[in-house]
Every structure is written in structure tokens, then in C-alpha cells.
Amino acid sequence: MRIGEGAVPYQEAWEEQQRLHALRLADEIPDTVLLLEHPPVFTAGKRTKPEDLPLDDTPVVQVNRGGEGTWHGPGQLVGYPIVKLPEPMDVVAYVRRLEEALILACADLGVGSSRVEGRSGVWVLGQELPDAAVDPAKVIDIGKLTLRLGLPLGIDPRLAGPEYAPSNAGQRGDDRKLAAIGVRVARGVTMHGFALNCNPDMTWFDRIIPCGIRDAGVGSLSTELGREVTVTEMAPVVERRLAEVFAALPEPALAR
């Protein structure tokens, strides 16, 4: 675990992911999760649109994960699980496990969060608006998901159904994204992962359209609770919840 003064430059962390990925692919190490903090950096996933990136000369790192553009930096806990997925492989179920671990970790601090239809990550839902009229054009119907990951091992029933909040079609105020998720699976082994906002300088997000989403906001544990929540405080909570949620698979070895 490297945070604070030990924050890891993005390129260094990427090289370490590739090294661990090769070792996990060869079964030379168990499932491993890197928990760390980055110096400020913008990254752009495969679906990033040019207009969603900084308008100034702020550097942007192109990465081969899914998702769109985001920011990493001080006050944000970043996790890179290097996990060999069981067959038959289900990447959606893997992402849902990451979401579940983060939802539980946020709840441990008293922050209620959720999934939202059509949007990955962990969200605090906006306040319900009385007498609001739902805009049918904004309703997202993702249908029933078929998730296979872990079923032979006894999957937690909370991970077996949709359990998404309805898409915000004008019935509530702006949702706020607490944690972004963007993953890549190469030859059955995961890379990249999640970023949980603990106490970052939120003005960094003003330079981009985070994750390409224009009709929602970005939040942090500190702004939600009205007190300082540091990466140091949150890291062991997330570590414990990751181990619990992935307990149906071989228990991950969490890198320190």
C-alpha cells in the first residue's frame, strides 16, 4: 500500500500492473490487489471523446482500460486488482463485485451508495424531487443480467440480480459519483480497477467531463459526511471488504 508521500506515478503503477499480470497469468502469484495513491494525472480510456478532456494543456495519459476520461490524484484511493477470472468468464459480474465491495466500504463510514442503471461505479443518489415528472427519453432499461461468475462456488445472492437504482430521468437531483470503475481483462486476468474519492481537491474534476457524463456530479466521502475522510482511514476498510466480497473465489493477496 503506497499513499501520501509514497504516492506512485501513474506510469510506474502501470508497469507494475503489467509485471504482476504476467506472473498471475503464469500462476506464479495469487490474486493480488494494489492499493495506492497517484500524483495528479488525467487518464483517457478507450471510449473517451476529445471534447471531454481538459481544454488547457494538462497532460493526459491514454490507457487501454474500458470507460472514458477521469482524474487520479491525492485524496483518492486507487485499486488495481490483478485477478484470474474463473470460467465461464463473466466480466460484468466481476465489475459488480468491485462495486459491491466499495458500496459496503462506504456504508461502513455511514455513506449510503448505490449502482445506477446504465452507469458503472458507485453513486450517491440525488434527493427525490416532489411531483417530478419522469422524462421517458432519459429512462434506461438494461434488462435482466445473466451473471455466471462464482455461481458454482455459491455466489452471494446480492450479486445475482440487477439491484440498480433507476436511471435518473428527472425524478431526483443530480446523482454524485463516489467511485469510478474501469477494467481490462487480458487472457482471463484483470487489470486497472477503481478510484474512490476520499478527500481530493474536487476542482480537478472541473477541467474534464468525468467519465463523459454531463448530467451528474462527482462526490467524495468527505463532502458527503462533512468531515475529513483520508485515504489512510479508508484503505483498510476497502481492503477488508474486497477480501469479503471475493471470498467465494481464492482469497486475493492484498499488496502492501
Active site residue 211: yes
Range 23-27, long-range pairs (CB < 8 A, 24+ positions): 24/82, 24/83, 24/84, 24/189, 25/84, 25/187, 25/188, 25/189, 27/84
The number of residues in the chain equals 256
Measured from the Cβ of residue 207, the count of other Cβ atoms closer than 10 Å reads 15
> Contact at 8 Å (CB) between 147 and 94?
no
Task: Point out the catalytic residue in the list 44, 83, 211, 248.
Answer: 211
Where would I find the beta strands (DSSP E) of the chain? 32-36, 41-44, 60-62, 69-72, 76-82, 114-116, 119-124, 176-186, 189-197, 217-218, 253-254
> Contact at 8 Å (CB) between 176 and 36?
no
Q: Which residues are the active-site residues?
A: 211
